[in-house]
Chain A
Amino acid sequence: MTRTFTTLLAGTALGLVASAASADTLRLLTWGSYAPDKVIEMFEAENPDIDVEVTFSNNEEMIAKLRATGGSGYDLAQPSHDRIFSAQQEYNIYKPLDLSQIDTSVMAGNLLDGVKANTTIDGEVYAVPHQWGTSGIMANMKEAPDVTGWNDLCDPKYQGRTSMRLRRTILLGTAFGMGMNPFELYGDKDAYQDMLDQVTEKLIACKANIKTYWTGGDDLQGLMMSGEVVVSETWDSTAFKIYNENPDIVFVPPETGALAWIDTFAIPRGGENDDAAYKWINFVLRPEIVTLMSNSTGAIAAVPNGIELLPDDKRAAVAAAFDEDDLANLKFFANIPAGLEDMEGLALERIKAAQ
């Protein structure tokens, strides 16, 4: 009985091992549009011995997946820059980067320095930047020409015609809209809770004004394109996509500053093919690939002239949205200290459950 059972188990285990990736596979854990087929084809043509396998995900799922496996199963991950420090501290899921293998000279200096500063633990750097973009407001200029910032989402003028995503970004944006700076409160849990309480109250009072909470880019696109929603919180890349189809709908950087995120390259602790990972990093930052990539993602590459390297239609959308002051006023997400996400999570659940 036991012998047979052991044999069965051993057989199953063998089967699993045999199907696991061989050394010349690059297993990429990234965002929906961050590995366009064209780019993968070009990469594989240049490196015939490497197969690229892509898993699409988002910040939270990337961390959850890597945590579940102790950092193995993938060779390269692309979480946002503010999601690395505490995840690494708590779950130890990444390994330090070997910066000598990465051509950092092609990256925009300020973004590289920012990401390095955010992701250095014990003198080791865990991530370098890939693409960046912002979160802000999107408005249909025909219906809502006066929109300037986060507070307009709760303006009774647009009763039943606004939308937001019920995640931490809206908490931060609303706090800025109310004249507070959440990033300055990161060190003081009591003050942060106090800020969260005020934001929660405001967003609960705002619920009647909102049509629904959107959950993904496609969802939001449907709501805006159909005209059911005229003002919404948005990722700029989603807004740029919509602008190409309906130029009345533009991205509005909030007057308090659009919230900026940087998606990075980070190598999971159990990654088995670092060489291929470094090759991919250097490959996708080449100017000709940057354009292909930005065309697919709608985000801006973290290279010195990232905006100029955007495809024409995207560049027009960015030009319609940002002027120099807006770009100077960007608020980059700061590292989230451990424990704060629990407080934010509870605030979000309070808002969702309120009637």
Chain B
Amino acid sequence: MRSDAARLSLFLLMAPFALWIGLLIVLPQIGIGYVSLREKVGPGEYTFGLGNYLDFLGEPIYWNTLLRTAWMSILVTILALLIGFPIAYYIAKIARARSKAALFLLCLVPLWVSDLVRAFGWIVLLRETGLVSGLLQGTGLIGEPVELLYNDVTVVIGLVYTVVLFMIVPLVSTLDGMDDAMLEAGYNLGGSRFTVFRRIILPYAMPGIVAGCIITFMLAAGSYLTPILLGGKNSSWFTEQIYSQFITRYNWEAGATFGVLLLGFTSLVVWLGLKLTGQSLATTVAKE
């Protein structure tokens, strides 16, 4: 009897989660995979095959954009790590208990504002008639208004700003668990700051670093609004092409193919990253 009740309560607890995963993630993915294998031969006529994937390979614009998106997302991830690590270290190890919570809250505040508003914030700052350009003119550093918007640098800045928090949170929670005695031991044994960082802090923080990198990379590669609003006339982003296949060209087959390719490709990049750093998902993201 007791085990039956326990099983039922476990089932009831898990049911919403299972439904969520099943209905909103697994089923749509299967559907997308199915559509991607459907080839259009005429109005309303379809056959099955790999034609959509071959089309992707045959058109350099598409895979160039995918590679570009991946490369820029990796760049964003690296920058987010470089910027996020000192902040996370300060919050976890140096700040006092009371300011710790306040600092953490300050990091969270930007998340209360939607992506769209944050992107418009950057537009207000960086456009030719914007604040930064005006300020630079006011101080006499430049004579003419300068356009800071609509280029790849702006997209990277905007993306780093959007994702850096997702780097900081796992880093803080990992570094929080590190015993200060380990650092003292390192110094006592004659280690320099750099050695202590390289031999003690870095290995300890590795699970947090990997988890943060995976999340930020996936978020950057899958982002849509920021690259579109801040990007220039030359900056294509892969999610934008997925949107245009689905919506402006009614080509669901190609859109689904692109979706599958994006998922596959980003997963591959994450897998490669794990291999290169000698980590595995079990030791990082799923760590107890």
A interface residues (Cβ-Cβ under 8 A, vs B):
4, 8, 12, 60-61, 63-64, 67, 87, 89-91, 160, 167, 207, 210-213, 215, 226-228, 338, 341-342, 345-346, 348-350, 352-355
> Counting CB contacts under 8 A, is B233 at the interface?
yes
In the assembly, what is the distance between CA of A227 and CA of B59, in Å?
38
Whether the pair A8, B15 counts as a contact (CB closer than 8 A) is yes
With A12-B19, A67-B250 already in contact, 6 other A-B pairs whose C-beta atoms are closer than 8 Å: A91-B44, A211-B150, A213-B233, A228-B129, A341-B249, A345-B248
9 contacts between A and B (CB under 8 A): A91-B250, A167-B248, A207-B234, A228-B128, A338-B43, A342-B251, A345-B244, A350-B61, A355-B234
Whether the pair B128, A341 counts as a contact (CB closer than 8 A) is no
Given A8-B19, A211-B150, A227 contacting B129 (CB threshold 8 A): yes
In the assembly, what is the distance between CA of A160 and CA of B144, in Å?
14
Nearest B residue to A160 via CB reads B147
The tally of CB-CB contacts under 8 A between chains A and B is: 73
Given A8-B15, A226-B129, A354-B234, A212 contacting B248 (CB threshold 8 A): no
Please provide the chain B residues from 112 to 158 with a CB less than 8 Å away from any CB of chain A in the complex: 127-129, 147, 149-150
Please provide the chain B residues from 218 to 274 with a CB less than 8 Å away from any CB of chain A in the complex: 228, 232-234, 236, 241, 244-251
- Distance (Å) between the CB of B21 and the closest chain A CB? 14
> Counting CB contacts under 8 A, is B29 at the interface?
no
- Distance (Å) between the CB of B151 and the closest chain A CB? 10
Whether the pair A64, B129 counts as a contact (CB closer than 8 A) is no
On chain B, the residues within 8 Å of A348 by CB distance are: 244
Chain B interface, number of residues (Cβ within 8 angstroms): 30
On chain B, the residues within 8 Å of A346 by CB distance are: 59, 61
Whether the pair A341, B129 counts as a contact (CB closer than 8 A) is no
Whether the pair A352, B247 counts as a contact (CB closer than 8 A) is no
B interface residues (Cβ-Cβ under 8 A, vs A):
11, 15, 19, 43-44, 59, 61-62, 64-65, 127-129, 147, 149-150, 228, 232-234, 236, 241, 244-251
In the assembly, what is the distance between CA of A227 and CA of B251, in Å?
38
On chain B, the residues within 8 Å of A60 by CB distance are: 247-248, 250
- Distance (Å) between the CB of A217 and the closest chain B CB? 15
On chain B, the residues within 8 Å of A207 by CB distance are: 233-234
Q: Which of A67, A342, A352 contacts B236 (CB 8 A)?
A: A352
On chain B, the residues within 8 Å of A211 by CB distance are: 147, 150, 233
Given A89-B43, A228-B129, A353 contacting B248 (CB threshold 8 A): no
Whether the pair B247, A61 counts as a contact (CB closer than 8 A) is yes
Whether the pair B61, A63 counts as a contact (CB closer than 8 A) is no
On chain B, the residues within 8 Å of A227 by CB distance are: 129
Q: Which of A64, A341, A353 contacts B246 (CB 8 A)?
A: A64
Residue in A215, A227, A228 whose Cβ sees the most chain B Cβ within 10 Å? A228
Given A215-B228, A226-B127, A228-B127, A345 contacting B233 (CB threshold 8 A): no
Nearest B residue to A344 via CB reads B249
On chain B, the residues within 8 Å of A160 by CB distance are: 147
Whether the pair A349, B236 counts as a contact (CB closer than 8 A) is yes
In the assembly, what is the distance between CA of A115 and CA of B159, in Å?
45
Whether the pair B233, A352 counts as a contact (CB closer than 8 A) is yes
On chain B, the residues within 8 Å of A349 by CB distance are: 61-62, 236, 241, 244
On chain A, the residues within 8 Å of B251 by CB distance are: 342, 345
Nearest A residue to B244 via CB reads A345
In the assembly, what is the distance between CA of A341 and CA of B248, in Å?
9
In the assembly, what is the distance between CA of A342 and CA of B52, in Å?
13
Sorted from nearest, which 6 A-B pairs have the closest CB atoms? A345-B249, A226-B129, A212-B150, A60-B248, A353-B61, A90-B43
